[in-house]
Structure 1
C-alpha cells in the first residue's frame, strides 16, 4: 500500500466515523463525543470552542460560573467538510 492509498483509507474511515456521529447526534454533538474521536480531553474541545468559536457555541448566563457548550451538528459537519475537502 502506498502512502497515498493510506491517506485515502484514513480519510474514508474518518468520514465514516463522522457519519456515525451525525446519525447518533443529528442536532447537537456532545463535547465528550468529539474528545473521544480526536483522542483529546473534553477541556481541549471546550477551549477550542471558547478561543476560536468555529466548532460551536459557548454561553455563560449572567450570574453563573460555568459556561454551557453546544456543537450544532449541521454547523460542525459543514466546517469539517470545508476544512478537509470532504464532499
Structure 2
C-alpha cells in the first residue's frame, strides 16, 4: 500500500471503496473494502471488516495471496478486539 500511495497517490482500498459506491454496492460491502486493512477504524461494520482483514493475513501467511507484497501484516489490535474471540 505504501508503494501505491507513493506512485499513484491512492491506495487500492480507497479505489475499491469508491468503485463500490459508484456501482451502488450495499454499504456493508463498501465499508469492508474501505477498512479491510484497518478494521479498527470501521465504525459501522467493524466485525465484518476484521474478518476480511484476518482472511487477508491468513492468505498472505500461507502464500496464496495475489499480492506482490509477501510481507504478512500485523493484525489490527482493535480489529482483533472487535472479533471478540476467546483467547484460549
Larger Rg: 1
The TM-score normalised by the length of structure 2 is: 0.26
More strand by share: 1
**Greater length-normalized contact order (CA 8 Å, ≥ 6 residues apart):** 1
